[in-house]
Chain A
Amino acid sequence: MTNAGHRITDAHECSQLNEMKIDMTGLNMLSGWTTNGDTIMIEQMPIFGGYTGGLEETAISDVATTLGSFALFSGNFHLDGPIHIRWNVTTSKETLQVAAHAAAAVDANTDLLLANQYYPAAGPCTEMCLLETANQAITDTGSGRELLSGSAAAKGVVKDKTTGMEARVMGEAARTAAGMKVSDLNETIGQILALYEKGFVSPPEGKTFQECYNVRTVKPTQEYLEVYDKALGVLRDCGLPIKH
């Protein structure tokens, strides 16, 4: 079977540990993949408010760990994901700032391939979840990242609370933001952020995949399509000319 198993052209993922650490399990996996010529994605999610402390210190550590993935561990691309210690999300103002500043710094000085991953607070089939996801996609695209990976709605910890619709908004927001002026994107990001950041205290739980889709036909429910359309309207009002 041609497309069975993990191929060289699939992403083989290894995680660093917080902060600037790795274990032997990671090194041993990397040694096999390196020898085999596999495509290697190395992940690290710097914690804002953790060992490094503040915004700038976390961004400095983020740049260091990114460079380490390539210079020490033979990575082909680096999967970032600055996470907020209080809210456990990647979509807060602070974590978007850390991600964007680290990406822009590495992008301006190298040709390294940079990715970011998505952990919004709200669950699927909610406007907040779609706005959070779109906002991070705009940020990642505008700061020069090459790959967006997501999205783990409901902070990625609740069983079955992820669906393809969140990836749709991530991709469409990225497609729209690509090539736009960064100053315009910053305006838009600020407006969208203001609409959802107060929701971190008690984010809407949303619905499970089984409630969002017909599991047999794998089509989203009318309810989710309507929530999606409404969220696109909000994004347009905030300055992102997203089409569909």
Chain B
Amino acid sequence: MTVSKALNVFDSFDRFVMGKKVREDTWDYVTIPTNAMNMKEKWSISFDDKIIPEDDDLSDRLFHAGLEMLAITGFYNTNLGRVLSVTEDEILEGIKGAPKKIRLGKGNERVSCKSRRGNSSRKPIIQGGPTGAPVSEDIFSPMMQSYARESVVDVLVSGVLNTVGGHPATTNTPWEIKATLAEIRYVREACSMVGRPGMGI
């Protein structure tokens, strides 16, 4: 059925508020495994030994199984304890509006991340960095420089500062916010130090 518009994050919040109340353990231990198993059976999803699938029909069935999984299951909000409902048409409308290309970084270091389609001869964008692993304060900038100076690296992903000004960057405390802002400064400094100040981070 034609939908009025794609959902955005505000629409999704409203859907959560209006959604059905469900216990989180019921969601985790009943809803998710039951629906995933049902979709596996309905769409005859079975993998062989290949890591990358070579069967196009299997890929199509898996896409439809995932699409239907989202439509019949919805999404759970852990704070509200409620489930958002969404239709397949709304999901497809949302996908239509998603970008096929984004630009990361600025100036000479700006790169374009574009849809590749299969194993295109165009390499993926390389986002180098510790990917959330813990890093000491005193080596944060040099470590990020070690990624930024690699010519194959297009953009950076940060690590997590272990301390800030010697204080542990404990989750859900003001030190966590200070550490996050310090991470951005260190990463920017690393980009500048290797002569790539515009790199996307």
Could you list which residues of chain A lie within 8 angstroms of chain B, going by C-beta atoms? 2-7, 9-11, 17, 19-24, 27, 30-31, 34, 39, 51-53, 55-68, 70-77, 93, 96-97, 100-102, 104-113, 115, 117-119, 139-154, 156-165, 167-168, 170-172, 174-175, 177-183, 185-186, 189-190, 193, 209-210, 213, 215-216, 218, 220
Chain B residues near A153 (CB, 8 Å)? 133
Decide if B115 touches A112 in the complex (CB within 8 Å).
Answer: yes
Chain A residues near B100 (CB, 8 Å)? 111, 113
**Cα–Cα distance between A60 and B5 once the two chains are bound (Å):** 26
Which listed residue, A11, A76, A102, A178, touches B122 by the CB 8 Å rule?
A178
B19 at the interface (CB under 8 A from A): no
**Cα–Cα distance between A215 and B86 once the two chains are bound (Å):** 51
When A68-B70, A209-B146 are in contact, do A60 and B40 touch as well, CB less than 8 Å? Answer: yes
Report the minimal beta-carbon distance from A37 to chain B, rounded to whole angstroms. 12
**Cα–Cα distance between A183 and B119 once the two chains are bound (Å):** 11
**Cα–Cα distance between A172 and B98 once the two chains are bound (Å):** 29
B134 at the interface (CB under 8 A from A): yes
Which listed residue, B50, B102, B123, B148, touches A113 by the CB 8 Å rule?
B102
Which listed residue, B40, B54, B110, touches A57 by the CB 8 Å rule?
B40
Decide if B76 touches A20 in the complex (CB within 8 Å).
Answer: yes
Main secondary structure of the interface of B (DSSP, over half): mixed
When A162-B143, A185-B52 are in contact, do A71 and B6 touch as well, CB less than 8 Å? Answer: yes
When A60-B65, A63-B67, A185-B119 are in contact, do A68 and B131 touch as well, CB less than 8 Å? Answer: no
Decide if A148 touches B125 in the complex (CB within 8 Å).
Answer: yes
Decide if A55 touches B47 in the complex (CB within 8 Å).
Answer: yes
Nearest B-chain residue to A118, judged by Cβ: B131
Interface size on B (CB < 8 Å)? 113
Could you list which residues of chain B lie within 8 angstroms of chain A, going by C-beta atoms? 6-10, 12-13, 16, 24, 27-29, 32-33, 36-37, 39-40, 45-47, 49-54, 56, 58-60, 62-63, 65-67, 69-70, 73-80, 84, 86, 90-95, 98-106, 110, 113-136, 139, 142-143, 145-150, 152-153, 155, 157, 159, 162, 184-185, 188, 191-192, 194, 197-198, 200-201
Chain B residues near A75 (CB, 8 Å)? 98
Nearest A-chain residue to B135, judged by Cβ: A160
- Nearest 5 pairs of A and B residues by beta carbon: A63-B66, A71-B94, A179-B121, A171-B152, A164-B146
Which listed residue, B28, B66, B135, B149, touches A67 by the CB 8 Å rule?
B66
When A31-B10, A61-B32, A64-B66 are in contact, do A171 and B150 touch as well, CB less than 8 Å? Answer: yes
**Cα–Cα distance between A220 and B146 once the two chains are bound (Å):** 8
Report the minimal beta-carbon distance from A108 to chain B, rounded to whole angstroms. 5
Decide if B126 touches A170 in the complex (CB within 8 Å).
Answer: yes
